[in-house]
Amino acid sequence: MKKNILSKDQIKHIAKLANLSLDEKELQVYTEQLASVLNYMEVLQEVDTKNVPPTYQVLDGTTNVFREDKIKNSFTQKDALIQSKVTHKGYFLTKNVFEKRKTSVKALNHRKRKVIDKYNAILSVADPKGNIGHKDLFVTKGIETTAGSRVLEGFIPQYDSSVVYDFKEAGYATKYKLNQDAWGHGASGENSDFGPTKNPWNSNKVAGGSSSGSAVVVATRKVDVATATDTCGSIRMPSSYNNVCGIKPTYGAVSRYGVIAFASSLDCPGLLSNSVRNLRKYFKVINKKDPFDATSQSKNRGQNLGRQKGIIGIPIEFLGEGIDSEIKEIFMQAVETFRKANFKVRKVSLPHTKYGIAAYYIIAPTETASNLARYDGVRYGNDRGYFGPEAKRRIMLGTFASSAGYTGRYYEKAARVRTLFIRDLEKAYKKVDTILAPVSPIPPFDIGEKSGDPLELYLMDIYAAPASLSGTPSLSIPCGFTKTNLPVGMQIMGPRWSEEILFDLGEQYQKLTDWHKREPQS
């Protein structure tokens, strides 16, 4: 039986804690939506987590990085102040924090953004002769970076992210900045403040998110490689929906320095390309330690995982209730391809699968509430009134889950369930080398079809949660098409630092099939 977890007055209080202003209509909508989401989260109370330690971070063999302090050139005062809306005699200017906050929401005068391509995948062209596209979470020196949000509209970074820098050093120039769900919040590509990205296989369908633009420009052959990020499926979902290949790496394999943060213990920068062979080549450019990112320092990087058994696991929980029958049939045909190639296939159990979405949608919003607190419109960007509906939902959900009196029931409980996910996978990988699974339970759906029900959209990430919560890698590759010619992808998951094994398997599959060679005709 559902209960009213949050009242309208509580939502108003949470919004105040999060420095968000809501009008009466928003209060009503968010009260209903957040109550629905939190009612679903109550499923975690079924899990016995007594004596289970919480997992707040999934690093291994990592120690703090210390370096000698050295005097070097930094930003000039002009550089530091250039993004601020208002300054005074070399200082940032802000309102008196002791003034009473206005509760009214100002009207947002959004300027109409030029659409660079018909799929709304490209936010801006940096260099028409360039050869790589960057998701708009990666900061690019001198090129507008918005994270898909009006909050950062007009923001011009003064430096490159480590990933962008590494590609530049390898000779790859930035061609496009690419559309995405704002801040990485979404599985469909509809939550961009600049409009939804359209699927090139059917422009009425979603492109998948949050790395929607990255997948589309690769699918349409505008670039051979695009950067992306995966917090819970944000590389794998658009990869599946656009018939391209994507790698969500081991957490810590690729530097997060200069990647606008969503959920810091989950964010994984990665790549999209048209074949596993190319993906492996490009991954070598960015798979390295970075002195600017302590999470990239694992001693286990490049470890030898030992002799492989030639056994692939199929999680029984992924093929039960909730999966589209056509998706299941296509996936099982892919499994049969491996079987015919002399791989042993065994069923494995990931018993906590049903709790993945609840755990993820407590941990991730809690971390994003903290990360997005910095956007106050003082040093750069617009004020918090420019946050879109999904960002506001997640900020308030995270603020509530981490507030006094609720941390133990929600955030800490989710962190303990996260530990159980890690144990499930560790147990499975003692029996099998890798795990093969669908990416999405359903094919691409119509734009706007699910926008009124956030929980329904959250549940789409159910197959992405295990690899994300455990910090383990997952390779998404095309494996077929529906009867209406919509792409279907599968993921190959492995233990930490097993990217080369995943690439090997992916390449073997692509030698036996040609799904990845098909291009959209629209």
Residues acting as catalytic residues: 135, 210, 234
- Of 444, 519, 6, 440, nearest in space to 232 by CA: 440
Single-letter residue type at 62: T
DSSP symbol at 481: E
Distance in angstroms between the alpha carbons of the first and the last residue of the chain: 47
What lies within 8 Å, CB to CB, of 375 at 6+ separation is 151, 152, 381, 384, 387
Answer yes or no: are the C-beta atoms of 60 and 300 closer than 8 Å: yes
Q: Which two tokens stand for residue 434?
A: 């890798």
- Of 278, 299, 276, 161, nearest in space to 512 by CA: 276
CB atoms within 10 A of CB 69: 5
Answer yes or no: are the C-beta atoms of 123 and 136 closer than 8 Å: yes
Full 3-state SS string of 493-517: ECCCCCHHHHHHHHHHHHHHCCHHH
Answer yes or no: are the C-beta atoms of 294 and 66 closer than 8 Å: no
Q: Which two tokens stand for residue 90?
A: 């070399």
CA dist., res. 338 & res. 312, Å (int): 9
Q: Which two tokens stand for residue 190?
A: 């509809």
Cross-strand pairs, 158: none
Full 3-state SS string of 77-123: HHHHHCCCCCEECCEECCCCCCCCCCCCCCCCCCCCCCCCCCCCCEE
